[in-house]
Amino acid sequence: MSHDLGRLPFPEQLAQIDAGLASGRGLEALLNAAGRLRDAEPLAYAIRRLAEAGALDTPPLPDALSALFLELSDTGVHRVLRHLERARGPVSLGAVVNAISGAMRALPIERLAAVCLMDRFLKNADPAAREALAAEAFAACREALFANDPARLGDPLLARVPGARLAELDASGGPAWGERLRAFAARVLDVLEAMPKSLSQANAEELLSRRVYTDPGHFLFELLQNAEDAGARRWRVEVGPRRVAVWHDGTPFDAKDVVGVLSIGQTTKKKGQIGFFGVGFKAVYEICERPQVYSGHFAFEIADISIPRRLAGRPPAG
C-alpha cells in the first residue's frame, strides 16, 4: 500500500485497499494505514470488505481491530459501524463484537458518545453480548452495594447500567448510593455539554428539528410514544399559560438515554421499532426553545438542540 494513501483521491484509495485485500498480505498494515487517516471512510470500507470476506477473525486482525476501536474518533466509530451494518451476506462479527466490548469497558466517560454508538450496534448485531456487558456492570454495582462502597464504581461502568437497574439500586442503596448516582449524572451532563459541535452540525440539527414535524400538537404523540417505550403505565399532560408539562412513570433515564435525547440518529431503539431514526423527541421544538428533562438523577435543560445544561432540584411548579 502506498505511504501517500491519505493524498490520493477517494476512488484511488479504495482501489489500493481492494488490491491489498486481493493479495491477502499485510492486512494488519493495511488496517493500520487506513486507521491513521483523518477521513475514516477508507478504514470503514476496508473493515467491511474484510468482514464480507470472513477475514476479520484471522490473527492478527482481531488485535488490530481492538486497538483501532480504542483510538478511533467518534466519527470514525460511526463510519465503521455504519459500513458493517451494510455488509452483504452472512458475515462473522466475532472479532468486531469482542473489540467493541473491550472498548466499551476501557473508554473513559469523555468518550460516552462513542460508547453509545457501540452499544446501539450491539443491540442490533449481538444482543447477547450487549446484555452480558450490562449484566457485568450491574454485578459490579451489586458487589459495591453489599460492601457499602459505591464510591469505587467508575463512571464508565455506571454508563453501562440500564436505567431500570440504576433505579433498583438507587431504591435499595441508601444515601451513599444516591450521592454516587447524583455525581455520575452530573458528570455525564458536564461531559456532554462540553462536547464540541461544528457550525454545520448545529445548523443541520436546527433545520431538521424544526421542519421534520409540522403538524400542530404532534409533539404529544411523540412523547406518548417515548413513554410507551419506557414501559409507562401512567402518562399525564398539564397545560399552563407558559408551559406544558408531560409526566410518566416509565423507566428513568440512563446515560445512553441522555445521549439519545440530545442527538439525531443516535437512538436507543432497535431496528423496526417506531422512532428508530431518533428524531421523535425533536417535535417538542414545535412549542418551545429550551425543553427541560427530569428523569432519575438527571435534570437538565437542552440548549441549541443538543447541549445539556445541568439544572438544580426538581421541575418548577405551576
| For the chain, domain boundaries | 5-106, 133-194, 199-310
Would the pTM count as exceeding 0.75? yes
- Tell me, what's the pLDDT at 272? 47
Determine the distance from the C-alpha atom of residue 34 to the mean position of all C-alpha atoms in its chain, rounded to a whole number.
Answer: 24
Q: Is the model's pLDDT at 274 over the cut of 50?
A: no
Lowest mean pLDDT among 5-9, 97-101, 198-202: 198-202
Nine-digit cell string for 40: 475514516
Please check the confidence at residue 298 and state whether its pLDDT lies above 80. yes
In this prediction, residues 48-67 reach a mean pLDDT of 95
User: Which pLDDT band, with edges at 50, 70 and 90, does 276 fall under?
Assistant: very low
Range with the largest mean pLDDT of 148-152, 194-198, 204-208: 148-152
Q: What percent of the chain has pLDDT over 70?
A: 88
- Give the mean pLDDT of the chain: 89
- The pLDDT value recorded for residue 273 is 47
Mean pLDDT of 266-286: 61
Check residue 218 and give its pLDDT: 84
Q: Write down the pLDDT at residue 200.
A: 57
Predicted confidence (pLDDT) at residue 203 exceeds the cutoff of 60: yes
